[in-house]
Amino acid sequence: MKRDVRVEHSVAAAAEAAERASPLQLELARQIVERMRDEAWVPGMRISEQALARTLGVSRSPIRGALDLLVAQAVLEAGAGRGFVVLRLPGDAEMSRLIPRSEGEAVYTAIMTDRANGRLPQEVSEAELIPRYGVSRGVVRKVLMRFAAEGLVQRQRGHGWRFVDSLETDEAVAESYQFRMVVECAALRQPGFRLDRDRLQQLRRAHEDILARAAGGVGTEEWFRVNTAFHEMLAACSGNRFFLQAVRQQNSLRRMQEYADFVQLPQGRVEQSCREHLAILAALDAGDTEWAAALLHRHLALAAGTYAGDAMDGKTRPELSA
C-alpha cells in the first residue's frame, strides 16, 4: 500500500512539473527523449548539458530546465557535479502524458503540414496566421522564428514572411542531392575532422536496433530522426560550423517534404540505407576517412538514382531517404 502511495505521488509530481515547465522546456524535453531513443542511449550513460545545448541550438538555461523536468519524470538522474545520468527510456504513451506537446509545437506542425501540401502560399503574414490557427501573435511569431532558425522562412523587408524554395520539384531534389554529395563528402576530408566515438557508437546501436526490428516495420518519423542524426554527426565532426549549418538546412527542407502526402518509404530502402550508414561508420571507426567519404558519395548517389528512376517512371515521389 505504501508503495502505491509513493507511485501515485511520483506520477502527480511529474505531471505538476510538466505543468510548470515553459513551452520551450517541454519542446526540448521531447527532443532530448527522442534523441535518447533514436540513438539507443543506455541506462547509466552520462549526458553533457553543454553538448545538448550546442546540438539543439539553444542556450544552457532552457536545456537545464528541460533536463530538470526529465529528472522529475524519473527519466534522468542528477549525477555528481552538474551532470545527468540516463535512468530509463520512456514509451510513447508515457511521454505524451507527462511531456505534452506545447501550443507552439502544435502550430509548428500545422504550418509545416499546410505549407508542404500547398495549403499555405509562399508568402504569409502574422495577421493571416493568427486567426487561421487560433493562437496569439506571440505564439505565431515564435513559431516563425523557429522556422527562420531552421532556414525555412525569411522575414520580408517591411512586412510578412516568405518560405524558402523547398524540394517541391524534380529539379530541386536533384540539386539537393548534388549539393549534399559535394558538401557532406568534403566535411569528412576537412583537416579539422575529429571523430566523436561516443556518438558513433550511439548511432551504430540505433541503426542496429532498426535493422533488428525491420521485419515488423519502422516508422518513417523514427527513421528520419536517426537518418538526420547520422548526417549531422558527420558534418559536426568536420570542426567547421558552416558544413553543419548547410547539412541542417538540407535536413529541414527534407523534413518539410516529409509532411506532404507522399508514399511511405519502402522498408527495403530503410534497411539498405541502414547498412550503408553502418558501413560508413565502420570505415570511420577504422580511421579510413577516404573510404568513408567514397561510401558516403555512393550512398547519396544511390538515393538520388532511386529517386530519379521513380520520377522517370512517372511514380509518386518517394520519401527522401538518404
Identify the structural domains of the chain with CATH numbers, from first to last.
2-98 (1.10.10.10), 103-163 (1.10.10.10), 170-312 (1.20.120.530)
Q: Are 10 and 74 in contact (CB under 8 A)?
A: yes
- Average per-residue pLDDT for the chain: 83
Predicted confidence band of residue 321 (pLDDT cuts 50, 70, 90): low
pLDDT reported for residue 316:
42
* Of the listed ranges 68-77, 151-160, 211-220, 258-267, the one predicted with least confidence: 258-267
Burial tier of 237 (Cβ tally within 10 Å: 0-12, 13-18, 19+): buried
Give 1's pLDDT tier (boundaries 50, 70, 90).
very low
Assess contact for 176 and 166: CB atoms under 8 A.
no
Kindly report the three-state secondary structure assignment for every residue of 46-82.
EECHHHHHHHHCCCHHHHHHHHHHHHHCCCEEECCCC
- 58-86 confidence digits (pLDDT tens): 888 889 999 998 998 889 998 776 689 99
Q: Is the pLDDT of residue 114 over 80?
A: yes
Q: Quick check: 18 pLDDT over 90?
A: no
In this model, does residue 17 exceed pLDDT 80? no
Summary count for the chain: helices (H), strands (E) = 14, 6
pLDDT one-digit tens code per residue, 268-303: 888 899 999 999 999 999 999 999 999 999 999 998
> What pLDDT shows up at residue 312?
39
Q: How many CB atoms lie within 10 A of CB 165?
A: 11
Percent of the chain with pLDDT over 90: 38
pTM over 0.85: no
Instruction: Give the alpha-carbon dihedral of 286, 196, 26, 144, to 10 degrees.
Output: -100
